[in-house]
Every structure is written in structure tokens, then in C-alpha cells.
A and B are shown apart, each in its own frame.
Chain A
Amino acid sequence: MKRQLTAEEKQTVYDHIREFLSEELGVPLDQINPGTRIIDDLGGDSIIYLELIEEFKKKYQVAIEVRVIGKYFQKHPIHTVGETAQAVYDIVERGEDILEGEE
């Protein structure tokens, strides 16, 4: 399953991630930028990543196993808000084929 996100859609995803983190972690939006580290700077935990995955899988109706996402994270570690956004773009655009060409 492949789709291409527009620049505007990517901005929406990015803003959604920032708002989600701000609400969940009680951090003002102006402290959440592309280079902000979710765990080390914002005090997030590993479960927050599962929550983000769940959020975007539902929102964009993406069928992808968490195990596949885990493999993707191993190749593309996500620590920052920007890296998380890129991961969500890839998941939404490529779904289960996210590792195509990388395995």
C-alpha cells in the first residue's frame, strides 16, 4: 500500500505530533521543535511511541505490524520530534512495505 503525502499533509502530521506530545507530556508547544528529543528533553517514555503509532495507524488507516515498525526503528532510530515525524511519513506512505529495499 503506497500513498504520497503532500507537503501540507506532512505539516499536519508534524503539528499533530507536537500537539500530542505537548498534551501527553505537559510541555508547552514552543519547547517542541524538530531537534527536541522526546525522551531526554521532554521526559517521554517508550510507551509514548506506541501511542503515537496507534494514533497515526488509526488516523491514516495504515495496516502495519508493530514488529515491522520495530525493525524500521532499528534501522532508523528515532529520538527527536523530527525523526518521529519522518518515521510517521514513511509509515503512512509505505505501510507494510516500509522496509522494501532495506532488508
Chain B
Amino acid sequence: MSRSGEGNKRPEFHRVLRLDNGAVLGIVDLSSLDGLDGLEDHFLTPFELSLCRELRNPKRRREWLGARIALKMLLQLEDVVGQPDECEIRKDGNGRPYLCLTENQRNLKSVDCSLSHKGDYALAALTKSTGMAIGADLEKVSPRLSRLRSQFINEKDSLLARLDEDAYHTVIFSLKEAASKSLGLGLRAGLTSLACQEEKNNFCRITRARGGPLEAKYFFLDDHVAAVAWISSDR
């Protein structure tokens, strides 16, 4: 694997957060990647590179790459891998990411991960806790989600923070989207059937009609909302 770009300036995390459950989140400011050379060759495996080159939209390509860089840097930070290309990010039939060691093509089942990107940022989440499934979502606060609220709001949703309408809906959506990603369900999760209730300090419990509850946390990043949700064992 090419090591081109070594010695050049490398991307850095804009922010790293460690949750009480041991999961770690890494956020990359996409604008910080502009002008850095050799990122694709340094961070991506040949397979990932082929996927990247299929993305014709420059914005999409930047977001896609930024999210993968964030996750690969987390893997290094958490000593899961030594170099970014030791691990490959693939997606299963439900679009859920999983990790595969490039050396022996074996799935790395000891960790779970999630990716998201929106606007100026990319977010990666990683957990090494056995049996934990994690999902992360990043959204920009906008009236789009207020207009779509009938597709995800549950009458039992509640947040402790006093937020304006758009911020409130963005937080609820982001939390539920993170939950559906941790479950690998996407729209099938039926976001209106999830009830999201903040218990304290941005920590939420998400209950569902069938199955155990998920836990989640959200935080603001400028005019974005980042959310992470997790569930242990029961998927």
C-alpha cells in the first residue's frame, strides 16, 4: 500500500468526545482537508479508492472521504489499527458500515462503527464494547426537518433544553436517525414509533414499540447537531 504523503501535513480531529459507555466520537472539519495532498492514497485501501473515484459529485466525494478519514483516525487513536489501510470500511446489505482487516479479509467483529456527514463536518463513532451497536448522525439545523416533522415526531418526544422549533426538530430527528442506524433499520425503524426523551445533560432514552430501549446523546457543533445512539446485545 502506498505511503505517499508521509511527511505532509495530516488531517486532525476538530473534536474528539469520549462517552461514559466507552464509545468515542471523532469530528473532522471538512474544510481542513482542502489543500492536503495524498489523503486518498494514505487513508484508503484499493477497494475504497475505487468507490471514492466513482463519486462524481465533488461535494459528495469530499464528505465521503472526510467520514472515512475520521473513522480511520479513530481506529488509529484507539489502537485498533496502526495504519489506516490495515482496515477497510465496507457496508452490509442494510447499508450499515463494518470493518474488515485487509491482511486476512476477516471482519473485525470486536468493534462497531458508524459514519455521518453534513455540511462542514464529518463524524465517526467507534465502540470496542462487546455486543454494543452504535449509530451516529450529523444534521445541520434547518427548517427542512420542521417541515418533515410528521414523518418522525412522536407525541412522547421531549427535550429538556429550550430550543427553537428548527433546532428542536433537528435534535429529535438526529437522535432517531442515529438510533435507526445503530439498529441497521433505516426508514424501516419507523421514526414516529420511536419516543425520544431527554433525561439529563443531553442524555436521552429512546423507547420503541418492540425491543429494548436505546440510549443516546446529542450535542451542538456550531449550527449542526451531532447525535449518537447505542444499544447492547438486543438488535
Contact = CB atoms under 8 A, between A and B. Distances in A.
B33 interface: no
A51 B144 contact: yes
A62 interface: no
Interface stretch (B2-10, B13-21, B53-61): B53-61
A66 B60 contact: no
Nearest to A42: B57
B186 A47 contact: no
Nearest to B173: A47
B188 A67 contact: yes
B100 to A, nearest CB: 21
Interface string A27-66: 0000000000001111101110111011000000000011
Contacts of B42: none
B151 A43 contact: no
A83 B191 CA distance: 23
B181 to A, nearest CB: 10
A74 B94 CA distance: 7
A39 B117 CA distance: 12
A43 B148 contact: no
Contact of B145 (A42, A47, A65, A67): A47
Given A53-B151, A54-B151, A40 B57 contact: yes
Most buried by A among B118, B151, B190: B151
Interface string A1-30: 000000000000000000000000000000
A69 B144 contact: no
A43 B60 CA distance: 5
B187 interface: yes
A74 B60 contact: no
A3 B54 CA distance: 38
Contacts of B190: 65-67, 70
Contacts of B54: 40
A71 interface: yes
Nearest to A77: B95
Nearest to B58: A43
Most buried by A among B59, B187, B189, B192: B187
Contacts of A65: 190, 192
B80 interface: no
A54 B59 CA distance: 25
24 contacts: A40-B57, A41-B56, A41-B57, A41-B60, A43-B57, A45-B118, A46-B177, A47-B139, A47-B145, A47-B148, A50-B148, A53-B151, A65-B192, A66-B152, A66-B192, A67-B187, A67-B190, A69-B187, A70-B185, A70-B188, A70-B189, A71-B188, A73-B187, A74-B94
Interface of A: 39-43, 45-47, 49-51, 53-54, 65-67, 69-71, 73-74
Interface of B: 54-57, 59-60, 94, 118, 139, 144-145, 147-148, 150-152, 177, 185-193
Q: Would you list the 9 A-B pairs with minimal beta carbon distance, nearest first?
A: A70-B187, A67-B190, A70-B188, A43-B57, A43-B59, A43-B60, A66-B151, A41-B56, A40-B55
